[in-house]
A and B are shown apart, each in its own frame.
Chain A
């Protein structure tokens, strides 16, 4: 039986342009001058089945992070579309948005609600999140008082415990101290290996991609260069990268 698609990306174009910040004086000039454009994605199409683990590789600036942000709905497409077929989604890497003035506990609720969970659902998992984050009394203090380690520990705990259907992971995480790193890596593996969860991983570490992914998508200069099994794509990619060095 063919599995259903969790993510469909069709002819996705993303351009950074004239939306640059400007002053009122400079904006008069904008009316007459052409604004420079930068096309980060130039028509990307692919589909991910439910439960699949897709790795995205490509050199720096090939549009990987832009693609993830577009799938997460943070960037809008200039052409084409992304369809998540009604699944909930979270970007595990950059975590969730915190309101720094509010306490960690309040932020658990607010970020959870933005990820699509109800207050009751979050209430049930609140304790688990706080235990996992393991930041002690700081959970009742404003997030602005956190160290960067505590900040990312809490962010990871929220996205990892409140499990969304689709998870986007930008670079495999190295969060907090050695103990937390091990804990978060194990948790992530557990999440990835869940049969129902669809995962997209962006990484420069080809070893990780080979180990975790069922399929690999190779992005080059804003276009899909190749899609296929890791065993086929990765050697090709390695060869290409070596040739381009010289």
Chain B
């Protein structure tokens, strides 16, 4: 309980900092390039075109509304992927800051997550434009994306906290995470529908035990196919996400001031 109170207090205290730092970082990312902020739109758009071509034309995928299907999945996946890959080396890449002033370390992750959220919402904008273009029926069920995204955020933030902690001490964790995420990319059904392609027990477990596959499935079900999400599933991952998050908060509180001694 003490951990949670302190966590909330710190988030409140440093929220403005996190927002400001995220804004500044987004600005600095594009300030030197010729096309400037257009990159935030061009980049995801190009990736989508590549995947749609490769999987739609080369592998002849048959999913309905395939382009939107891929791009929606990719949007959720990119956020998850960035959060996990970004958190491993987060403390070390902020060495200058961490060794000179006290800052609750999850504020670094919070700030990073804001930049990823920003990109996520741009990506969603493209999804909607795509839906209009490819004549996907738009229903109110789209609004289910918000609770689903909240679950995605909490799960990613929790896992990110743990990776951030272990990333300080284990030099090669980044490599492991990288490989693991690559495997997950292909196993989570970003480019295909797990249930129809794999079927059987394998698909059953892949969809249920893998948070990102579950989230992608739910997003597609509600946003593209106008269905209802699995509320039990969402509740389950919400609780799991909160447990991981509390674990992360506890570990960070216990160790954060030792990081400066290591890096």
**A residues touching B (Cβ–Cβ < 8 Å)?**
16, 19-24, 27, 69, 72-76, 90-91, 94-103, 106, 109-111, 113-115, 118-119, 142
Query: In the complex the two chains form, is A96's CB within 8 Å of B101's CB?
Result: yes
Query: In the complex the two chains form, is B16's CB within 8 Å of A110's CB?
Result: no
Query: In the complex the two chains form, is B172's CB within 8 Å of A72's CB?
Result: no
Query: Would you give the shortest CB distance from A141 to chain B, in whole angstroms?
Result: 10
Q: Which 3 A-B pairs have the closest CB atoms?
A: A76-B257, A97-B97, A73-B102
Q: Can you list, as one digit per residue, whether each of B104-136 has a CB less than 8 Å from chain A (1) or not (0)?
A: 000000000000000000000000000000000
B28 within 8 A of A: yes
Taking A91-B101, A96-B100 as contacts, is the C-beta distance between A23 and B171 under 8 angstroms? Answer: yes
B85 within 8 A of A: no
Query: Which has the most chain B C-beta neighbours within 10 Å: A90, A98, A113, A119?
Result: A113
Smallest Cβ-Cβ distance to B176: which chain A residue: A24
Query: In the complex the two chains form, is A113's CB within 8 Å of B17's CB?
Result: yes
List the B side residues contacting A115 at CB < 8 Å. 101
Query: In the complex the two chains form, is B260's CB within 8 Å of A74's CB?
Result: yes
Smallest Cβ-Cβ distance to A40: which chain B residue: B261
Query: In the complex the two chains form, is A24's CB within 8 Å of B173's CB?
Result: yes
B96 within 8 A of A: yes
B195 within 8 A of A: no
Select the stretch in B19-27, B34-42, B53-61, B242-250 that faces chain A.
Answer: B19-27
Query: Would you give the shortest CB distance from A163 to chain B, in whole angstroms?
Result: 16
Query: In the complex the two chains form, is A119's CB within 8 Å of B24's CB?
Result: no
Smallest Cβ-Cβ distance to A118: which chain B residue: B16
Query: In the complex the two chains form, is B171's CB within 8 Å of A114's CB?
Result: no
A114 to B263, CA, bound (A): 20
Query: In the complex the two chains form, is B172's CB within 8 Å of A100's CB?
Result: no
B204 within 8 A of A: no
A75 to B257, CA, bound (A): 5
A113 to B99, CA, bound (A): 16
B258 within 8 A of A: yes
Taking A23-B172, A24-B176, A74-B260 as contacts, is the C-beta distance between A99 and B24 under 8 angstroms? Answer: yes
A104 to B34, CA, bound (A): 22
Query: In the complex the two chains form, is B25's CB within 8 Å of A20's CB?
Result: no
Query: In the complex the two chains form, is A24's CB within 8 Å of B17's CB?
Result: no
Query: In the complex the two chains form, is B101's CB within 8 Å of A110's CB?
Result: no
Pick the contact of A99: B96, B99, B172 (CB < 8 A): B96
B198 within 8 A of A: no
Smallest Cβ-Cβ distance to A100: which chain B residue: B96
Smallest Cβ-Cβ distance to A142: which chain B residue: B28
Pick the contact of A119: B14, B20, B97, B100 (CB < 8 A): B20
Query: In the complex the two chains form, is A97's CB within 8 Å of B25's CB?
Result: no
Query: In the complex the two chains form, is A110's CB within 8 Å of B262's CB?
Result: no
Smallest Cβ-Cβ distance to B263: which chain A residue: A21
List the B side residues contacting A106 at CB < 8 Å. 20, 24, 28
B98 within 8 A of A: yes
